[in-house]
Structure 1
Amino acid sequence: MTNKTTSLLVRALLEMSEAHSSKVIRGNTKRANIRNMGSFGALAARRASLPLYSATSISIPSRSFSFINLAAPISTRRMEYTECRTLGFTPEQMYDVVASVDQYQHFVPWCKKSRVFKGQNGDMRAALVIGFPPIVESYTSEVTVVPNHQVRAVCTDGSLFSHLETLWRFAPGAKDSPGSCKVDFCVSFEFRSLVHSQLASVFFDEVVKQMVSAFESRAATLYRSQQDVLLRRRST
């Protein structure tokens, strides 16, 4: 079974590497060590299944994707992605969406299952299953929160990651935009195996790029009616 799984991973890796190389040659582009993305254009087609909603037209993304320790062997390469956006929801609303880890399976890209276990001392552990073919893996994270301000999750057990940490911070938006908030999102990760590291360059970077938009869409689903009422009150 292990040999069969490894064979599938290697075959998928070779196919994706060839496709990626052909794309780079056709476009005559070079991948930079650090990529800064301030536009949704390149991702619009990929996010067609994630309708965006904002009560006010103030969503201004600022993103960066950094590959750290490029001189190190690829099996130990750590990657980090950060994004900062202003969204048309309150800090309390966005915090509630992010802190509801047990609901991730319903809207987070490639999250297949999500369960939360709470200890007697108030600590929280999250068991997640993620899948982006040919990888389907489970892992456990310790989740700590500062209500309405911060959610932090650190992977403590799993065969896929040697390191995985996500951090969300929420703050009120500008004074002239009541009901909005500033969201800072950061994720750093490192895969255990060479094959998974190679696959990450094709899949996982796309996963994390969609994260903030997925949570914004979730907030829209939960709070759209409330925001519509607020907008109508402002216009009268």
Structure 2
Amino acid sequence: MIPVTKIIRSCRSCKFITQTQRDLSFLFGSNNGAQSYSAKRILPYESTRLYELISDIDSYSSFVPFCKHSKVTKQYSPDNDGIRWPAEADLTIGWMTLEESFTSRIYCEPGSVVEALSGEAETSLKNNKLLLRSPNIHSPEKSASVFQFLRTKWTVTPFQKSVTTTTSQEVIQHNNIKDQTQVNLDIEFKFTNPIYASMSESFTPKIVGIMIEAFQKRAYDHLRN
């Protein structure tokens, strides 16, 4: 895990353009175009229990790095099990004295995918059953102040022996294979201002790793027993 203190120390050695607005642009990008980053872990817990943690967006501010505020503002109509999944949320991300707030449209495939969209981002979950139940639930798309578009997608998949990983850090060994789950985090975004991307070159690859490691700790704290 990359300690936040280490990132802060590295930040002190960087030269940034003086900020006249309270924004977090330097945390997320590395060039002027659309970018995508991903990370994955295989965790020793059932997929349904991990999905419950991911879909609990109200709790993000308590464990997701840099997330200062998270509040679900809309929910879908109840599914076949009577559960109302999140449909829209207000989020604030902060870094020291800097903050940025935005609204995310949430798309859920219960038990497998949670996708959060901002700006012009479009969902990858076509023919979503929850959306069919609540077709007009999302607010009109708005251009975010920092991002032209932002998509954050969490996917949980029951682990199969055929699944392989590239590094030993991505696997946590567990005696009972049926209780293992692969968790994927994918982030895609594009800045509204190309200057923002040039200010964030050293941070972009680290953020996704920090986020999934924070979720790994969250799962351990809540599901280990």
Q: Do Structure 1 and Structure 2 share a fold, with TM-score over 0.5? A: yes
Q: Does 1:77 align with 2:33?
A: yes
1:185 shift after superposition? 1.7
Compute the displacement of 1:120 (Å): 6.2
Question: Please, what TM-score do these two structures have when normalized by structure 1?
Answer: 0.60
Deviation at 1:114, TM superposition (A): 0.5
Match of 1:172 in 2: 158
Equivalent-residue separation in structure 2 for 1:14 and 1:77 (angstroms): 26
1:199 matched residue in structure 2: 199
Structure 1 residue identity aligned to 2:52? D
Alignment pair present for 1:128 and 2:91: yes
Q: CA deviation at 1:190?
A: 1.4
Task: Report the equivalent of 1:184.
Answer: 184
Aligned to 2:14: 16
Q: Which residue of 1 aligns with 2:210?
A: 210
When residues 219 and 119 of structure 1 are mapped into structure 2, their CA distance, relative to the original with a 3 A threshold, is closer
**Deviations 1:37-71 (CA, angstroms, capped at 9, x unpaired):** xxxxxxxxxxxxxxxxxxxxxxxxxxxxx97xxxx
Note the C-alpha offset of 1:119.
4.5
CA contact (8 A) 1:155 1:164 kept: yes
Partners of 1:139 and 1:160 within 8 A in 2 = no
Matching of residue 97 in structure 1 with residue 53 in structure 2: yes
Structure ranking higher on relative contact order (CA contacts 8 Å, 6+ apart) = 2
Q: Paired residue for 1:3? A: none
% identical aligned pairs: 27
Give the match for residue 42 of structure 2: 86
State how far apart, in whole Å, the 2-side matches of 1:80 and 1:200 are.
14
1:153 to 113, 116, 120: 116
For 2:202 and 2:40, the matched residues in 1 are separated by: 23
On the 8 A contact 1:132/1:203 being kept in 2, the answer is no
SS of residue in 2 equivalent to 1:169 = strand
- Structure 1 stretch displaced more, 173-182 or 139-148: 173-182
Unaligned runs of 5+ in 2: 1-10, 17-28, 78-83, 120-141, 162-175
CA displacement at 1:147 relative to structure 2: 1.0
CA separation of 1:134/1:146 partners in 2, compared to 1, >3 Å: closer, same or farther? Answer: same
C-alpha root-mean-square deviation of aligned residues, in Å?
A: 2.6
Aligned to 2:178, the other structure's residue is in SS state coil
1:149, CA displacement in angstroms? 0.8
What is the CA deviation profile of residues 92-133 of structure 1, one whole-angstrom value per residue up to 9, with x for unaligned ones?
111111111110000001001001012464661111101124
Query: Secondary structure of the equivalent of 2:221?
Result: helix
Matched-pair contact (CA < 8 Å) for 1:110–1:207? no
User: 4+ residue stretches of structure 1 with deviation over 6 A?
Assistant: none
Instruction: Decide which of 148, 165, 185 is 1:162's aligned counterpart.
Output: 148
Q: Where do 5+ consecutive residues of structure 1 fail to align?
A: 1-12, 19-65, 68-73, 226-236
